[in-house]
Amino acid sequence: MTLSPDLISGALSFLFTILILSYVIGDNPLFRVAIYVFVGVASGYVASVVIWQVLVPRLITPLVPTAMSNSPMQWVMIAVPLLGSILVFAKISQRLSGLARFSMAYLVGVGAAVTVAGAMIGTLLPQVQSTIEFFDPQIAAARSITTAEVVGNGAIILLGVVTSLIYFHFGAHQKTDGTMRRLLPIEILAWIGRIFIGITLGAVFAGVYATALTALIERLSSLINFFGLFS
Amino acid sequence: MADILQCPNCKTENPIGSKVCKNCQTPLSPVNKITGGFIKPGQAPTRKHTADLEPVLPQWLRDARDAARGTEPQNSMEPPLPQAEKDQPAAPPSNDFLAGLQSSEPVSEDDDEYIPDWLANITGKSPTTPREATSEPNTSRRVEMGHTADFPIKEEPAEESETPSWLASLQSQEAEPEKDELTEWFRNASGADTPKHHEPTPKIEESAAAPQPDESPDWLRQMAMDAEKAEAPKPQEDSEFPADAPDWLRNLGSPIEVNPDSGLNPFSLTEQAPAESEASAPPIETPNWLSNETPKQDTTPKWLQDDRAASDSETPAWLANEAPIQLPPEPDSQPLSDDIFTELPGWLKAAAPESSIFSQAAKEPDVAPEPQQDSQDWLKDFQLAADQASEIKPESEATLENAPAFSTDFHSDENVNSLFTEMPDWLSNAVDSSSISPSTSPVDGALAPSELPSWVQAMRPADTSRVEKAQPAPTPNRDLPLESRGALAGLHGVLPAMPGFTPTSKPKAYSIKLNASKEQMAHAEILEQVLAAETSPDPIESLSAYRASRTLRWFIAFMVLVAVAAPVFLRTQFFSTPVGVPNETRDAISVTQAIPEGSALLVAFDYEPSRAGEIEAAAAPVFDQLLLLKHPRLTFISTNETGPILAERFISGPLAGHNYQSGATYLNLGYLSGGQSGIRAFALDPASVAPVDINSQPAWTSTPLQGVTALNQFAAMILLTDNADSARAWVEQTEITRKDTPILIISSAQSTPMIQPYYAAGQVDGIVSGLYGGAIFEQYNAGRPGTARLYWDAYSVGMFLAVVLTLFGGLWNLALGLRDRKPAGKGMK
Amino acid sequence: MRVLTAVIAIAVGLIVLIGYFLPQAEPLQSMLLNWAVTIAGAATLMGLLNLLSVHFTKVRRGEKGGIYSALLILAMLGTLAAGIILRPQHIGMQILMNGIILPVEAMLMGLLTISILYAAIRLLRHRTDTMGVFFILTALLIFLGSATLPFGDVPVIGTLIRPWVTQIWALGGARGILIGVSLGALTTGLRVLIGADRPYGGK
C-alpha cells in the first residue's frame, strides 16, 4: 500500500479522533497532547496563511514596483500600510509598544464606522421595516400570504419584537416597601418577552444539537471508512 | 530646759546654739511646733523657717525632751545604738530625739505656748491656743511631722539665700491653716490596728500621762520603750538579733523573724536598724531611713543627727542621709529624682515630689517663695507656723498629737523582732490603702499611704514643683488616665501593664459604601440579578452528586455513540428524508435554478473546520446541482483563515466529480482579513482588495473572473457559514453594493434561527439549513446520491434519542427539583 | 501622543462613515479600508506571535504543563515553516488540515452532543421558570420536528408546529435580539467615533 496523502491524512484523522474521543472517560494526557498539537498546527497554519495571503501580496510584492515607479501616490499607498504594519509589530518591544496605539486607533476607528453603518443600514432599518411591512397587504399578497396569516403571524412577530426589547429594559423604581421593581406594564411585557426569548434560544439550542450530532456522525463515519480501507 | 538642746540621738545635752551634738555630732535643730495635719503627697510644701518653729513644737515633745534630758522618765523612742551607748555621757540618757529640736532663739517658757489637745492628753497639760510662731535662730533645725497646712504660710521678706528651695516652699505655704502636723502624723500612725507594734509602752504611758490607747503610734511608743532599754540592760529577747543591734531595735516588741525576704512594707520597721545597727543587721528589712543611719551608733535619729552635720548645707542632714524608702506613691506625685532625698526614708521619699523638692517652687498659689535661708531657718518656719496655728486637727490626729515622734517608750517591752515583722499601725495604714487619696483621712492614726507627714512636707523646698493633689499643677498628663495600682500608681498617662489593653477611643469607622444614588443602585441591582441568574454556576453539593452526574454522562455518551454509530456502520436507510420543504429552502432552490448558465458566482467560505461535515453535507447537493446544470464560474473567498483550504477541500471532495480546475473554472482568492472592514472593502472594490489568488496569480484577469469587476456583477453570492455574525456581516456590508445580486446562505442548523429574520426581511434570498436542508435539496437533485442521505438515519435516531432523554430525564429532574425546593420553602416559612 | 491616536481614530472613522452616504467619498473610504485590511493582517500575525511568546515563557520557567507548551511550540513552528516553504495550499498542508485540524475540531464538536443532552436533562431541576420551560419545550418540538419517521415527517409536529414555531415565534424573538444587538453596536460605534470610548488607549 502506497502512502497516499489520503492514507496519511486518514491515519492522522483516526489517531486524533480517538485521542479526542478519550475525553468521554475524562481528562487525560492523551487528550491534552492532541489538543496542544492541534493548537500549534492551527496557529502555524494561520500564520502561514496571513503571511502568504495578506502581507506578501499587499506589502512585499508591491514594494519593488512602487520603488521603481515615480508616482507619489503609489508611494503613499504602500507606505501607510507598511508603516501601520510595522507599528503593530512594535508591540513586541515593551519600550516601543506605545507606538502600536496608532495602528490600533486606526483599526478601531475604521471598525467603529463600519459597525455603525452596517448596523444601521443592514440590520436596524431593514428589520424594523420588515416588521411593519408584514402587515402590508400588497406584500403579503405577493408572498401568497393570507390576511389571517398576516394579522395573526404579524401580531405574534410584532409582539415578539417589542416584548423582547422590553425584556432588556432594567429601569426600576423604588416602591414604598423599599423593593426595586419595574413598572407593572413593563413587568408584564417583559414576562411575555421572556417567553419569546426562551423560544428563540430553544430553537438555537436544538440547532446546536443538530450541528453537533452531524459532526459526530461525520467523525464516526470517517472512522468506519478508515477501517474500510483495510478491509 | 529651754537653754539646753538635747541631742535626739545620744540624748546628750548641748547648749543652745549648738549646731551639732558634741557627743555624736548629730545636727541639732530646733523643734518645730506641729500644727497638725499631714503633708499629703503632691501637696505644695509650706515654706517654713525651721528656726521659727520651736514654738510649734508640741508640749509633749518638749516634755519628752526634757524628760530625756534629765529627771523625767526615759524616753525609749530613739533607737539605742551600741555605739551610742558607749558614747553616751553619764548624764541620764535622754530618749528625747527631739531634744535638739529647739529653736535657736530663746523661746519663752512653754507655759504660754500652744499645746494641742493630743499633746495635752499626753502631758496632762491643758491645751492652749496656738501662738504666733517666732523666728528661731538659724543655729539648729527642727523636724516636725505634720500636714502642710499645719504650717502657717508667712510672707517673710526674703532673707539670706541660704535657705534651700525646699525650705522656701515650706515657708510659702501660708494658705494652709496652721496645724499640729506632728500630732496629726502621730495620731494617724498610732491609729492603725497593728497588734504587733501596738503595745503601748509603759514609758509612753507614763510620760504621756495616760495617753489614749490608740492615740500614739506604736512605733513611737516602742521607740520610747527602746530608749529606756537602751540605758537599762537590754533584754536580749531574740538571740537571733545581732549583738550590735541598737537597743531600740531590740526592744521593739514581740520577737520578729529576721527575714530580709519577708517582703514587708517599706514602712515596716523591720528594715534595717538605724545607723548604729546598720552594719550589724544586714538581713533585716529595715527602713532605709533607719538603715542609713550613721555608723556612730547614736541613738539619736539620724535625721536629727544629720541636722547638725548639715546645718550649713541646704539639705538637712537627716534628710540627706536617709536611704530612700518606698512609699505608696500618691497619684499626683512625681517620681523621686532628687538626690537630696537619696538618704531619706523611703516612705518619705515616696511621698516626696518627683523632682527635687528643694529646687522646685511650691504649687500653692498663695505660697510666696521665700529666700533660702540657713538650715535652721526652716525650723524657724516651723516655729512660726506652729505659733500661727489656728485649730487643732480633728480627733483623728489627737493620737498623733499625743504621741511623741520618737518616744523612749518605743524600745521598751517591744519585741525587736516585731520591729521587723510587724508593721506599725501608722505604716500599715499607709500601705493598706490601695487608692492613693491624699484626702483620705488617716484611719486610726496610721499614716495614709499617699500622705506625707507635715513635717516632711515642711522640709520640702518652696520652689519644688511637685504636683499636689490638693492643688494639682497643670501638667500634660493630668487629663490622662490615672494609674491606681502597681509600681506606677499615682502617675498619669502610663501604659497599662495588664494585658488586654483596650483602646481609649473607638477607632473611627469609615464607610465603605459606594456613593451612588438610589436609582443607580436599583439599576445595578437588577442587572446583577439578571447576570447572576445566568452566570452563577452551581456548586458541587457533594461527591455522591458528582459521581451520579458522571455516571449519567457516561450513560448518555454510551447511548449516543451506540445510537449514532449503528446506522452509520450498518448504512441503513430506514428513516425517510424530510418531505416538507421550508420556505427558505424552497426559495433557495428557486435562486439556484434562476442562476444563468456559465455565470460567475461568488462563494464565501466562512465556516470552521469543526462544522465542515455539516456544511459540506448541506452545500454538496446545492453545488452539485449548480455545477451540473449551470456550470458556473466559481470564485472563492473567505474571511476565515482556514476558509481557503476548506474551499479547496470542498471543490476536490464532494465536487470532485465535476473536475473543476483552479484558474479555469474556479478561482480561490484566499483569505480576506479585517472582518467587516474587509468585506466592505471587497464590496467596494474587489479588484484592489484581492488582486491575486492563493497562487499569487492575477485574479481579475483570469477566466473565472472574466467580465467581473464589481460585486454586483456576480450572478449570485453564496455564503457558507456556521456563524450568524458572519452572515450578518456579509449581509450588512454588501447590502448596498450587491444591489440585485441574490444572496444564498448555506448555514449550519445552529445559526439558522438568527439568520431567519434576514430572510424574513428579504435581505437573504434563501437559506439551506444544515443536514435537514441538505437532505431536502438532495431530493431536488435528480436523485443523485449525497452525504445527507448517508447521515440521515443516524441523524433521526439521534434526534429521537434526544427527545426521549430530554423528556423523561427532564421530567424526572423536574420532580427532583420540586422535591428539593419544598424543604427549602418550608424552612424559609 | 494619546491625543493624536484619538484624532486618528475619529478622523478615519468619520471618513469611512461618510463614505456610506456620499458616493463621492467612496474612493477615500476604499483606500482607508484597504489599508485597514493590511494592518489587520499584521495584527492577526502579532496575536500569533504573542501566543508563541506565552508558551515559550511557560517552557522557560518550567511551569506546570510546560511539556505541553513545548509540544505546542514545536507544532506551531513546524507548521509555520512548512507553510512558508510549501505554501498553505500545498498538499502537505492539506494533510495537516485533513488529518489534524479538522478531525480534532470536528470531534470536539461531536462531544458537544453528550454535553448538550446532559444539560437538557438537568435543566428543569435547577431552573423551573417561564423561560426554562419554554426553552425546553421548544427544543423538544424542534428535535421531534427535525427527525422523520420511516414514512415521512412526524405528523403535525414536523409539518405544522415546527415550521410555525421556527418561522414565527422564534422569528419574533430573534428579530428583537438582532435589533437589540444592532442598537448596542450602533451605540458603541458612535461612542468611539465621538471619542467617548478609547479602547486603543487614547486621550
Q: What tens digit of pLDDT does each residue of B618-677 get? A: 999 999 999 999 999 999 999 999 999 999 999 998 898 888 998 899 999 999 999 999
pLDDT in tens, B666-718: 999 999 999 999 999 999 999 999 999 999 889 999 999 989 999 999 999 99
Beta bridge partners of C152: C149
Q: Looking at beta carbons, which residues of chain A come within 8 Å of C171?
A: 157, 160
Mark which residues 26-55 of C lie under 8 Å from B by CB: 26, 29-30, 33-34, 36-38, 40-41, 44
C132 touches B at CB < 8 Å: no
Residue, of A203 and B446, whose pLDDT is higher:
A203
DSSP state of C169: I
**Distances from the Cα of A148 to the Cα of A132, A142, B236, B382, C170, angstroms:** 16, 15, 137, 127, 19
Q: How far apart are CA B233 and CA A197, in angstroms?
A: 121
Length of chain B measured in residues: 829
Place of cell 507548521: C79
What's the average pLDDT block by block, 10 residues per block, for chain A (231 residues)?
A: 81 93 90 95 95 92 85 87 92 86 93 94 93 85 80 91 90 74 87 94 95 95 85 71
Q: How far apart are CA A157 and CA B390, in angstroms?
A: 113
Place of cell 525587736: B416
Measured N-to-C along each axis, helices B787-828 and C130-146 cross at an angle, to the nearest 10 degrees, of 160
Please name the residue of chain A whose CA is at the shortest distance from the CA of residue C145: A206
**DSSP letter string over B736-755?**
HHHTT--EEEEE-TTTHHHH
Q: At B224, list the grid cell.
A: 520610747
Q: At B1, list the grid cell.
A: 530646759
Q: Burial of B518 by CB count in 10 Å (0-12 exposed, 13-18 middle, 19+ buried)?
A: exposed
C158 touches B at CB < 8 Å: yes
Q: Do A116 and C186 touch (CB under 8 A)?
A: yes
Of C33, C122, C170, the CB nearest to B681: C33
C197 touches B at CB < 8 Å: no
Measured in angstroms, the CA of B675 and the nearest CA of chain A are apart by 9
A83 touches C at CB < 8 Å: no
Task: Report the amino acid identity of residue B418.
Answer: S
Q: Chains touching chain B at 3 or more Cβ pairs under 8 angstroms?
A: A, C
Other beta carbons within 10 angstroms of residue C31's beta carbon come to 20
Measured in angstroms, the CA of C163 and the nearest CA of chain A are apart by 11
B685 touches C at CB < 8 Å: yes
Q: Do C89 and B675 touch (CB under 8 A)?
A: no
A42 touches C at CB < 8 Å: yes
Q: How confident is the model at residue B475 (pLDDT cuts 50, 70, 90)?
A: low
Q: What's the whole-number mean pLDDT along residues C33-48?
A: 94
* pLDDT over 70 percentage in chain B: 46
Q: Please check the confidence at residue B63 and state whether its pLDDT lies above 90.
A: no
Q: How far apart are CA B84 and CA B470, in angstroms?
A: 42
- pLDDT (0 to 100) of residue A196: 94
Place of cell 399578497: A141
Contact B305, B292 (CB under 8 A): no
Q: Looking at beta carbons, which residues of chain B come within 8 Å of A210?
A: 749-750, 770-772, 795, 799
> Between vectors from CA C36 to CA C35 and to CA C39, what angle results, nearest 5°?
90
- Write down the ipTM of this complex: 0.94
Of A88, A161, A219, the CB nearest to C46: A88
Q: Looking at beta carbons, which residues of chain C come within 8 Å of B576?
A: 148-153
- pLDDT (0 to 100) of residue B750: 94
Residue B660, SS3 per DSSP: coil
Q: Please check the confidence at residue B276 and state whether its pLDDT lies above 80.
A: no
Please name the residue of chain A whose CA is at the shortest distance from the CA of residue B640: A46
Task: Report the amino acid identity of residue B787.
Answer: T
Which of C203, C159, C189, C201 is closest to C12 using CA atoms? C189
Q: How far apart are CA A16 and CA A6, in angstroms?
A: 15
Q: How far apart are CA B438 and CA B426, in angstroms?
A: 15
Q: How far apart are CA B704 and CA A22, in angstroms?
A: 45
- pTM score, two decimals? 0.61
Q: Chains touching chain C at 3 or more Cβ pairs under 8 angstroms?
A: A, B
Q: Do A203 and C138 touch (CB under 8 A)?
A: yes
Of B579, B610, B680, the CB nearest to C153: B579
Q: Looking at beta carbons, which residues of chain B come within 8 Å of C101?
A: 609, 642
pLDDT in tens, B548-587: 788 888 999 999 999 999 999 998 888 988 888 998 999 9
Q: Chains touching chain A at 3 or more Cβ pairs under 8 angstroms?
A: B, C
**Sequence-ordered alpha helix ranges (H) in B130-216:** 165-171, 181-191, 202-207
Q: How far apart are CA B269 and CA B288, in angstroms?
A: 9
Residue B708, SS3 per DSSP: coil
Q: Looking at beta carbons, which residues of chain A come within 8 Å of C137?
A: 202
Number of H helices, E strands in chain C: 8, 2
Measured in angstroms, the CA of A121 and the nearest CA of chain B are apart by 7
Q: Looking at beta carbons, which residues of chain A come within 8 Å of B799?
A: 210, 213
Q: Do A217 and B728 touch (CB under 8 A)?
A: no
A121 touches C at CB < 8 Å: yes
Q: Do B564 and A217 touch (CB under 8 A)?
A: yes
Which of B730, B774, B778, B729 is closest to B748 using CA atoms? B774
Contact C200, A105 (CB under 8 A): yes
Q: Looking at beta carbons, which residues of chain B come within 8 Å of C148?
A: 575-579, 792, 796
Kindly state the helix (H) or strand (E) to which residue C152 belongs, with its residue range: strand C152-153
Q: Burial of B354 by CB count in 10 Å (0-12 exposed, 13-18 middle, 19+ buried)?
A: buried
Of B674, B728, B736, the CB nearest to C37: B674
Q: How far apart are CA B722 and CA B610, in angstroms?
A: 10
Q: What's the whole-number mean pLDDT along residues C129-148?
A: 92
Task: Report the amino acid identity of residue C18.
Answer: I
Other beta carbons within 10 angstroms of residue A199's beta carbon come to 29
B610 touches C at CB < 8 Å: yes
Please name the residue of chain B whose CA is at the shortest distance from the CA of residue C145: B799
- pLDDT (0 to 100) of residue C85: 94
Q: How confident is the model at residue B341 (pLDDT cuts 50, 70, 90)?
A: very low
Kindly state the helix (H) or strand (E) to which residue B792 belongs, with its residue range: helix B787-828
Q: How far apart are CA B668 and CA A165, in angstroms?
A: 42
A151 touches C at CB < 8 Å: no
Q: Please check the confidence at residue B274 and state whether its pLDDT lies above 50.
A: no
